[in-house]
Structure 1
Amino acid sequence: MAVKRRPTGTHHGDLRNALEEAALALVGERGPHGFTLAEACRRAGVSVSAPYKHFADREALLASLALKGYQEQRRRYRTALAAHTAPAEQLAAFAVAYVRFAAEERALFDITFLAGLDKSRHPELAQAGSALHDDLMPVTREIVPDPDEAFELLVQVAAAAHGLALFQQQDMLPGPWNTNSSVEEQAARTARALAGRRAH
């Protein structure tokens, strides 16, 4: 995660980062809708007027964190894709990286996908999402050249991984299947199966 930690009790040399860190902690405790900008200020130990030097409102603070979420996802997905050459295995690695990000960076995942941020107000988020698509489409097009079908395959793999991530977070999978390793294995198997159906 790109948000830097600062030593306890030190002066805020980086107000923006201190507010992002406070908001991330609050989201981890209460979800992306469960805190106010004033609470983030109190958590960061700054005045309630402080954030307006960097963020117009609470949504702008969350949007900044969502962008970090997209950037962290892209870093993880690119690493996953680079570890394999066969496209089906690349998709399986992407699916594993997806559910792992959701488990390891729960607050960032929730902000990115559940905060309801208006992408027309924050076009940088739409651009970041498009960058993920641009990295993954060449992989699915190796399996199925038609761009519409390749996009459909990408959506199916991502939707399956997203669903598994949410099932795990909500404890909706029976005990032995609700572990990180089991969910990662399920995500990989599903991605391979979807890729295999398209390849024939």
Structure 2
Amino acid sequence: MPKRGYHHGNLRPALVDAALILIEQRGPMGFTLSEAAKTAGVTPAAVYRHFAGREDLIAEAARQGYAIFADLLEYAYSDGKPSALAAFSSTGRAYLAFARKYPGHYIAMFESGISIQRTPELNTVATRALGVLEKAAVELSQHIPADKRPPPQMFSAHIWAMSHGVVELFARGSPGTRSPFPPEDLLETGIGIYLRGLGLIPQDG
């Protein structure tokens, strides 16, 4: 691959793209900054004009991922849903769709060990993504009597954990975790059971 050089003006996004490829292939700690430079077609020295180390590069990939993730969640929640319940369920499906479509970003965000507090920019966009689920939980929980209503942060954390668990166990090809049911069905029924327990969906029968 010919060296494109620092002057091409797109080195930073090119390095993030290279890192995403390597993250998917080897995991977040399975490559060096020099290998990312080689994949991007530039010299290792050029990388340090933008990133102090591999963790900074992964953090930028995570920041980019959270921005995409937040946009998807916001769209899923607000795109003409007939009810707060339908909008809330849609955000869970968006989580699953994101993990499938953007595996490199997903790994950088959730499996790299990079804290969302690492940079102000990363923290801001991660907080925005979390805020979509919390907003959905606030609106949906208004249908629960006040004395039985969980805090919105707990409500959204439960759905986040359920979505994340389905993704990790059944949607990303983890060895030895085959399921007889599609991940979408697992997530939808799991959310349904949870919401039914809160009285937001009528009991069967």
1:152 corresponds to which of 154, 158, 165: 154
Letter in 2 for 1:157: I
Alignment correspondent of 1:11:
4
Q: Give the Cα separation in 1 of the matches to 2:98 and 2:111.
A: 15
Q: Secondary structure at the match of 2:44?
A: coil
Report deviation, 1:53. 1.2
Distance 1:85 1:134, change over 3 A: farther
CA distance change for structure 1 residues 127 and 148 in 2, over 3 Å: closer, same or farther?
Answer: farther
CA pair 103-43 structure 1, distance change in 2 beyond 3 A: same
Relative to 1, partners in 2 of residues 1:172 and 1:159: Cα closer, same or farther, differing over 3 Å? farther
Q: In proportion to residue count, which structure has more helix?
A: 1
Which amino acid letter does the alignment assign opposite residue 176 of structure 1?
A: P
Pair 1:35-2:35 in alignment: no
Are the structure 2 counterparts of residues 142 and 67 from structure 1 closer, same or farther at C-alpha, using a change threshold of 3 Å?
same
CA contact (8 A) 2:96 2:167 kept: yes
Which of 122, 127, 131 is 2:124 aligned to? 127
2:84 is matched with 87
CA distance in 2, matches of 1:183, 1:175: 8
- 1:188–1:9 CA distance, 2 compared to 1 (3 A): farther
Q: Name which of structure 1's ranges 103-112 and 158-167 shifts more when overlaid on structure 2.
A: 103-112
Tell me, yes or no, if the aligned pair for 1:38 and 1:48 is still in contact at 8 Å: yes
Task: Give distance in 1, aligned partners of 2:87 and 2:176.
Answer: 27
Q: State the alpha-carbon separation in 2 of the partners of residues 129 and 49 from structure 1.
A: 30
- Structure 1, unmatched stretches of 5+, are 1-7
Alpha-carbon shift at residue 172 of structure 1 (Å): 4.6
Contact 1:100 1:184 in 2 (8 A): no
Deviation at 1:126, TM superposition (A): 2.0
Please list every run of 5 or more consecutive structure 2 residues that lacks an aligned counterpart in the other structure.
201-205
Whose radius of gyration is greater, 1 or 2?
2
SS of residue paired to 1:49: helix
The structure with higher relative contact order (CA 8 Å, sep 6+) is 1
Q: Deviations over 1:60-109 (max 9, x none)?
A: 11111101110111111111112313222212111111111112211110
Deviation of residue 143 (structure 1)? 2.6
Is the 8 Å Cα contact of residues 58 and 108 (structure 2) preserved in structure 1? Answer: yes
Preserved contact between residue 153 and residue 194 of structure 1 (Cα < 8 Å):
no
* TM-score, with length taken from structure 2: 0.83
